[in-house]
A and B are shown apart, each in its own frame.
Chain A
Amino acid sequence: MSHNDEIDCSGMSCPLPVVKSKMKIDTMNPGEVLKIITTDPGSCKDIPAWANRVGHEMIEEAEENGKYYFLVKRGE
């Protein structure tokens, strides 16, 4: 799936991946999709938990070569 913007949080540890993702998605429009890249294992649960809790939509989660990829659609 295509995305509108991307943020690479590789090497960052908790809480920074969520902090940076929040700041980025706040600049986007409802319905647009943000791609998030992380390496912190804690982020695998925290990114989806954050997205669902604050009204965004988790579209895709994947792991490849020690990196985690997420597609999050901005809520209203």
Chain B
Amino acid sequence: MSESFSASEMYTWMEEGVPHLYLDVRNEADFSRFHVEGPQDIELLNIPYFDFLEKPEETVAKLDASRSVRVICAKEGSAQFIADMLEEFGFGDIQWLAKGIIAWGNVLVAKQVPTPDHYELWQFNRPGKGSCAYGLIHKGELMLFDISKNLEFYRNFARARNLSLVAVFETHLQADYISGGPSLASEFEVDYIAHEGDFSSSNVTYRAVVDGESIGFSKAGGPSVLCTHSPGHTPGSTTYVIDDKYMISGDTVFIVSVGRPDLGKKVVEWAKQLYATLKNRISVLPDELMVLPSHYTDWTKEANGDHLIINDFGTVKALNESIYALASEDEFVSWVEANMRPQPEEYNRIRRVNANIETVDLATAEELDLGKNQCAASQG
């Protein structure tokens, strides 16, 4: 009988470049909607499990029995079934992904961002989604930004370091994943801090952030969080500048591209807001600020050598020169319109869940939450 591996192990193999052959046995439609991607290129094959049932010898012959093969499916049943079959065919190093692709979609990887010694900043990367949350720590207090619904991860993170949660921030009403912010804030009886531009018509309990306000820790000497309203991707998008050194940029500034302003179906209005935001509120920030975005699309372009999604704002502007150099509002709107593409159909429902206008059971939440983000205004 073949053995299982965990989604976290899979991330580690990818980061370390372990040369496994990954075999995804789901149907082609589900595979094309969402599949495993990691910090380094991997060898990934999609052969639906029913091919192995229908023509076992012919299908198995497509694989090299001397390779270590890691089998992936939706839940785990089919992966285990195929792994056992491959073992019977004489494959020596076969394992299957425990709890399936959803487990991969929920993996979080915590990495520390280099900071001055008196505080800590953590990036919580969710490779299955291409999204990042953040944690800021000063003298036993923890602030969280843009967290996903994997609350147990954040509880454990705080408990293991003996931290008390003091605030949960949201950069904007997320459309591509279900936020864990309101639940965790309510559980720990701390403020859920967000902008009324996105949340005034929601059923979420929140503390409205004010443009230009600075939010700090209770003990003296900690880093400040300067809140800068940066509408465009959404009307309430807010950028949090930490200690004049880091920009938690939400879906406003990405390492590659900027946040798409067409998700709210008011593309011209929001694109104009985004143009004004980039020109008047973001471009004026210092080049030395380190950009920490909510999303990324391409590891090779957006991660640094330590697999952190980070770069300095000067470099970010240079990487996206064609966007930042657009000379007029009209040109910017035209560029947005030229790069528009459909948004995944589940985004509207995720927004409703994040605004607490609709509640869903866990299975529906997992299904809605699966898939890579489509938040950037341009691709490739």
Contacts and interface: CB of A to CB of B under 8 A. Distances in A.
A50 B50 contact: yes
Given A15-B77, A19-B81, A53-B48, 12 more contacts: A13-B75, A13-B77, A14-B74, A15-B78, A22-B50, A42-B74, A45-B29, A46-B50, A50-B48, A50-B50, A53-B51, A54-B54
Contact of A42 (B29, B51, B75): B75
Given A14-B74, A14-B77, A42-B75, A22 B53 contact: yes
B73 interface: yes
Interface in B260-296: none
A19 B27 contact: no
Interface of A: 13-16, 18-19, 22, 42, 45-46, 49-50, 53-54
Nearest to A42: B74
B98 to A, nearest CB: 15
Contacts of B30: 45
A45 B27 contact: yes
Contacts of B50: 15, 18, 22, 46, 49-50, 53-54
B105 to A, nearest CB: 15
B27 A46 contact: yes
A61 B51 CA distance: 22
B28 interface: yes
Contact of A18 (B29, B49, B74): B49
Most buried by B among A15, A42, A46, A49: A15
A49 B29 contact: yes
A50 B185 CA distance: 45
Interface of B is mostly: helix
Contacts of B54: 22, 53-54
Contacts of A50: 27, 48, 50
A15 B53 contact: yes
Nearest to A26: B54
A49 B28 contact: yes
Interface residues of B, number: 16
Contacts, number: 43
Contacts of B81: 15, 19
Interface of B: 27-30, 48-51, 53-54, 73-75, 77-78, 81
A13 B78 CA distance: 9
Nearest to B82: A15
Nearest to B27: A49
Contacts of A16: 77
Nearest to B30: A45
Most buried by B among A14, A16, A18, A19: A14
Contacts of B78: 14-15
Give the 5 A-B CB pairs with smallest separation, nearest first: A49-B27, A50-B50, A15-B78, A14-B77, A54-B54
A10 to B, nearest CB: 16
Contacts of A53: 48, 50-51, 54
Contacts of B49: 15, 18
Nearest to B77: A14
Most buried by B among A16, A46, A49: A46
Most buried by A among B50, B53, B54, B78: B50
A16 B81 CA distance: 10
Contacts of A14: 73-75, 77-78
A15 B71 CA distance: 14
A15 B73 CA distance: 10
B2 to A, nearest CB: 14
28 contacts: A13-B75, A13-B77, A14-B73, A14-B74, A14-B77, A14-B78, A15-B77, A15-B78, A16-B77, A18-B50, A18-B53, A19-B53, A19-B81, A22-B54, A45-B30, A46-B27, A46-B50, A49-B27, A49-B28, A49-B29, A50-B27, A50-B48, A50-B50, A53-B48, A53-B50, A53-B51, A53-B54, A54-B54
